[in-house]
Structure 1
């Protein structure tokens, strides 16, 4: 019996706020948000009987779930670019083609014989379970920190397999629905073909027309996000009205076409859809979990646990073994790839919307799809989150402490610092949302990332496992603080740094105080971006000097009284940054990085000094 004193409005507000808390907690503990969303939904629904989605939404429940899933699938399809399939390498291409067939077939057999479901439902569940997804993979990779080649394979598999797996699941689902409507085999093929044809045609036409509108700038930039959301909802509804169950296929095809049309820029739409998907996912999974029947969940019994074991220790390893034939991956690297493959958002979303429809059609066993999918999701996420890092260390494929530097902001100062780091063989990347500002960095051969590094796109496409420090060097102090706050949990509070604000002495002190919970302030008061840029324009350069027993820090400081000490590189690769906190102590064997005019080297011939611009 559900709590009756809460109004519908209050329950809707509660869903939104609990969803936010789950996303925030997920960010803090570096675990996939779906785990906490499902737990929250189960607590609100079957455990404490606070939320009853059937009573709250009534007849709108199925349309709400369907539209949410449509937006999620469309956002996933926008990431599937044909050009990227040529860049991801043979192992990943095999994983999303041959590997999908191997994994889906094994899970179909296991589901049929272990759970007793019909072949049709088993095939549907097998198709759903081929999907991993970047939203569950990326938080895990940031915790595990495997070798870059392993991280790249798992990341690309999650990105590419999302829409492919969803498309396969939609086709299997449509086949089952058609079978329920007619017993004639010829009519089954006719209706199935019609459903697929309508979905393809509507998706292609809608995607092409919307792409033309974007390409020719008929839609103002400020309305493109709203227009894309409206178009997705209309296309889903129109296709589903023309032919039942064709809507999900239509929006998936529409997204794939838009992602691959020439001269159609969808970056802003994709970023908007990522933010919107967070909202939809947060609410959707709380609602879905609140509908779970605990008795039905428990009734799955030991067979469900055996199915999880088959997925973890048989289906996934065989998929990887087949996909990595004749590749240059070692057995240790293949073993970790086989170990990590959690199921996530798309698996949960499509299983829920399919189960609702199949239950309405009276398909026997359809009620088991959602609890079984949720059990697999929770099981893989929890088990792999707890074991992946120890397994990576055991296999000796986990990265040791990393010393690379992630720089936010592309400008003359950050480029000069990146050049100096690279001369000392420190892995460096510059991130910026302005393509033109990144040009000089790319011309200089510096590794770059175009976009917001703390966005969902950055989470999926920016591999941060090789970086241990973050420097906020843009000319916007507040933006630097935001980025530092985002990376504080990942890199550690003492390893994120920001430029001082370009303010008066009193306001500087207030800013320093407010920045303590975001990042450490670099260097000293009076070294804001504008002043450092002026020093560079006046001819000063970032130089590197090696300290030794023959040439101490005190001697260097005596020779370079006006130099600004930036940071020092220890022999073990650690970087010691000079900050407003002081306590900058260096020793023999350190490399000093400093901003200065060209020094007179005549009196110190044994000194090794290098210009970062040499």
Structure 2
């Protein structure tokens, strides 16, 4: 039995990884492939039976996994960011979410026949989107900046708020089913809030005073979260999820605690837990579904897609700066994600133990909503955006990895040519200098999951890996080659050809065209700039073409970019030598004037 259990868990781990990889490959939310894999393994083939596989450990394991997922999600809610997200987003995550909850509850009650208490729980779970489903969809949808920012911020903010909302509804149902009074419910909520706040304060104190060594901080944080969950449940039954949610919100808003490395660890851990959890939970679905659930789930999805989301989004965006076309697309796009699936499955397990009528229908209904919204919206949103004329044209913006003087100079030249440029680096001093130059920036690693969720790549279609760290440049090239295409990622070399050795070269699949030519390196570029070379942009004409430019500025000038008559950006590289034509705008690294050079000599 131990061998079988170990083999099955390993198989689930491999399948979860394969689903995540496939989602990355085709740029669709991973939750779709995880749920489909679980359905194939469970109800369809019968290969996996989670209740027999895990037995009495199923509920505790799912509870702990959901606690960690909620903590990681709630840490991303920063109150200071709420002030700058605009009226439309505030409406979508407040009264728009309440309107969606009420309408979804009504649909679940009158269409699917759920009792009102389960219907309200379904409404609380069904009104939540999230960055894990929104961000991959935006990459293929490519709407204009206002729509992309609105949908992205809605997913980020409503993810933890929706979890908190659902937990409160669940606590109310459990208190009612166990015959508890309103005072007991208030005590449950109060216990969760108090334990969460105390746990966050204690953890922040330990981290701020460096009483936990850095290499143990991730381990210590996970232990603290699970400890708060267990203690809160021991004091007041079913209050643990609320405690970890509050704990994450408090920790995430403490400015005196550095949590970036903890966030990275929790993101990786959440990816692992989500991959295992969703396959297991989907495998628990029973086939055939409860009476009326197949048709009821389809009808509830149609109501959510064609009535609930349009009405709530239209109401939430009244008075905003969005036009009717932008509001129409926002009213169509609202895929459901991780919180809805994970929390609904955990709640269903507990409610089935309490024999709450209709609890067995909660998970099929939520999963029907998730699968329906992801499939339908992924297949139709791009065409709808084009029809509404709110889709971005072919992405011609540039992602510049690196914030040193060389990268900033190149980024500034592209911005001056009216391209969208995003400078990203985990070097704070360089990012701050880029901001002072008026460049759009993102602080963090461009290959992290945090960047996947929060970095706005709308209109970005190329990568220039220009940091001083050779290995990270290669990692960025590999990461964004699937995103932008093999021919649209470039790397500025850190070593000259004569300095490179076979043992130090990367494998061929990590290579990208050498930016600005085979012999240009980061060190040489920086040295030239220190000697007075400058980046110059010039429009070529019939009377002043490229040979005239070279004659005036010198044959040693380095052509960096060419911009065609229709505004298409062309990048000079080892695989593409540009031949500028009249009508082009050229961006060139030119030497200082001769008299200046002589004075320096």
TM-score range, shorter chain: over 0.9
Q: 1:5 Cα shift?
A: 12
Name 1:43's counterpart in structure 2. Answer: 40
Structure 1 584/516 Cα, relative in aligned 2: closer, same or farther at 3 Å?
farther
| 1:275-297 deviation line (CA, Å, top 9, x unaligned) | 11101100100111111112116
Partner of residue 578 from structure 2, selected from 576, 584, 596: 584
Q: 1:219 Cα shift?
A: 2.0
Q: 1:541 Cα shift?
A: 1.3
Structure 1 508/411 Cα, relative in aligned 2: closer, same or farther at 3 Å?
farther
- Greater CA drift, 451-460 or 369-378: 451-460
Name 2:544's counterpart in structure 1. Answer: 551
Aligned counterparts, 1:187-586, within 5 A: 187-296=180-289, 299-505=292-498, 507=500, 514-515=507-508, 519-559=512-552, 560-586=554-580
TM-score by length of 1: 0.93
Q: Verify the 8 A CA contact 1:45 1:291 in the aligned structure 2.
A: yes
Q: 1:299 Cα shift?
A: 4.7
Q: Partners of 1:510 and 1:29 in 2: how far apart?
A: 34
**Stretches of structure 1 lacking an aligned partner (at least 5 in a row):** 602-614
Partner of residue 94 from structure 2, selected from 68, 91, 97: 97
The DSSP-based 3-state class of the residue aligned with 2:589 is: strand
**Residue 176 in structure 1 maps to residue 170 in structure 2:** no
Structure 1 501/337 Cα, relative in aligned 2: closer, same or farther at 3 Å?
same
The DSSP-based 3-state class of the residue aligned with 1:333 is: helix
Q: Verify the 8 A CA contact 2:477 2:510 in the aligned structure 1.
A: no
Partner of residue 75 from structure 2, selected from 78, 84, 90: 78
Structure 1 124/513 Cα, relative in aligned 2: closer, same or farther at 3 Å?
closer
The DSSP-based 3-state class of the residue aligned with 1:520 is: coil
Name 2:598's counterpart in structure 1. Answer: none
Q: 1:505 Cα shift?
A: 3.4
The DSSP-based 3-state class of the residue aligned with 2:500 is: helix
Name 1:152's counterpart in structure 2. Answer: 149
Q: Verify the 8 A CA contact 1:236 1:248 in the aligned structure 2.
A: yes
Aligned counterparts, 1:12-161, within 5 A: 12-161=9-158
Structure 1 9/181 Cα, relative in aligned 2: closer, same or farther at 3 Å?
same
Q: Verify the 8 A CA contact 2:171 2:238 in the aligned structure 1.
A: yes
Q: Verify the 8 A CA contact 2:197 2:246 in the aligned structure 1.
A: yes
Q: Verify the 8 A CA contact 2:463 2:490 in the aligned structure 1.
A: yes
Q: 1:538 Cα shift?
A: 1.6
Q: Which runs of 4+ in 1 moved over 4 A?
A: 508-513, 515-518
Q: Verify the 8 A CA contact 2:112 2:292 in the aligned structure 1.
A: no
Matched residue count:
594
| 1:413-455 deviation line (CA, Å, top 9, x unaligned) | 1011112112222221210011122222122121111011232
The DSSP-based 3-state class of the residue aligned with 1:281 is: helix
The DSSP-based 3-state class of the residue aligned with 1:230 is: helix
Q: Partners of 1:388 and 1:508 in 2: how far apart?
A: 49
**Stretches of structure 2 lacking an aligned partner (at least 5 in a row):** 596-601
- Greater CA drift, 9-18 or 48-57: 48-57
The DSSP-based 3-state class of the residue aligned with 1:87 is: coil
TM-score by length of 2: 0.95
